[in-house]
Amino acid sequence: MADTVNHPNYTLCDNERLLCSTVDKLSNASHLAVDLEGANLGLAGGSLSLISIKDASESTSQAYLIDALAFNAEQLRPIYDLLESDVVTKVMYDGRMDYSALYHEKQVSLKKVIDLQLVDIKSRAIRGEGADRQLERLNPSIRRKELELNQRLYTRVQKLVGLGDCLKEHDVPGSKGGVDHNEWMKRPIPASHLQYAASDVANISLLYQKFLENEYLGKVSTEESQRYISMWRDKTPSPSDRYRLHAFLPLNIIEYDYGLTKTCEGCARGLPRSCFSATAWNVNFQELRKTLSRLSCHSCTNAGFQVGLPRLSRI
């Protein structure tokens, strides 16, 4: 039997016959682990290379790696239909780049997603983490002195973790390797890259099964996941956009506040009062621009002013 953790089985779909049989098999699943690969995936100027899909409920199931360059849009339509389906749940880990690539490059809107990165954050309280640990996670991204001085600004800022660290934190026996992401557009796709892509969806499946077992999944709604993955629907982030590529959970994704919004000068999202300091909310941005560089939401304040923030574009 294949090593389902480190060397999961996969089928590379690069001809129509294989694509048809793959669609038939995947259509029977209720939950699909989905992950996309590409060069600067989801960023301005980026390109989609591969769509990896696997039945999330079956540890031993095949991963299907669909070569997006081998087919035209019409041929890929049955796969796009699955991604846009309101019936089949897509299980993802930080689906923001994937959504951005599909939406902006292929005019495909991912739907019915459960994003395990959000589930991880919600599980922290269930695992007994309190306010102290939530702040502690922000260091060293935010300096300890700043956290002590302005603690109230950070009570709603959550540190995101990448898939590899998340597997470790939840004692899931997967591992996250690394490949040169500049090589995703090469054909034939290097075997190391195919193995990496297959491992990613296998890891997502294992994490999904663990969260299911621990009853964490019900803590995140599909609305929260949809809000998260589609947050760059307005435009693809530029590769140097520090306000969109930082490692903090953007505000107003979970703990959603309705009401009046103001546009953050960092991430350019319309956000409610709770996301800004009193100064940033009350002042007229035009007036104060003369003296302050930016008036941003709590997440962007640090994305803007801290040096050396970890980036999340490839975790």
Selected from 204, 297, 309, 312, the binder of Zn ion by CB under 5 A is: 297
Nearer to Zn ion, 8 or 250 (CB): 250
Q: What is the DSSP string of the chain?
A: ---TTTS--EEEE-SHHHHHHHHHHHTT-SEEEEEEEEETTTSTT-EEEEEEEEETT-TTPPEEEEETTSS-HHHHHHHHHHHH-SSSEEEESS-HHHHHHHHHHH-----SEEEHHHHHHHHHHHTT--HHHHHHHHTTTS-HHHHHHTGGGGTT--B---HHHHHHHTT-S-------GGGTT-SSPPHHHHHHHHHHHHHHHHHHHHHHHTT-GGGS-HHHHHHHHTTT-S-PPPTT-TTTSBSBPPTTSSS---S-EEE-TTT--EEEGGGS-HHHHHS-HHHHTTT-S----HHHHHHHH-SSPPB-TT-
Binding positions for Zn ion, 232-271, rule CB under 5 A: 264, 266-267
Number of residues that bind Zn ion (CB under 5 A): 6
Nearer to Zn ion, 206 or 300 (CB): 300
Least distance to Zn ion, CB of residue 292, Å: 15
Least distance to Zn ion, CB of residue 19, Å: 41
Nearer to Zn ion, 179 or 283 (CB): 283
Nearer to Zn ion, 175 or 282 (CB): 282
- Candidate ranges 126-134, 220-228, 229-237, 300-308; the one touching Zn ion (CB under 5 A): 300-308
Selected from 247, 300, 309, 312, the binder of Zn ion by CB under 5 A is: 300
Binding positions for Zn ion, 145-204, rule CB under 5 A: none
Q: Binding string to Zn ion for residues 277 to 296, with x set by CB under 5 A, is what?
A: -------------------x
Nearer to Zn ion, 95 or 266 (CB): 266
Nearer to Zn ion, 163 or 297 (CB): 297
Question: Which positions touch Zn ion (CB under 5 A)?
Answer: 264, 266-267, 296-297, 300
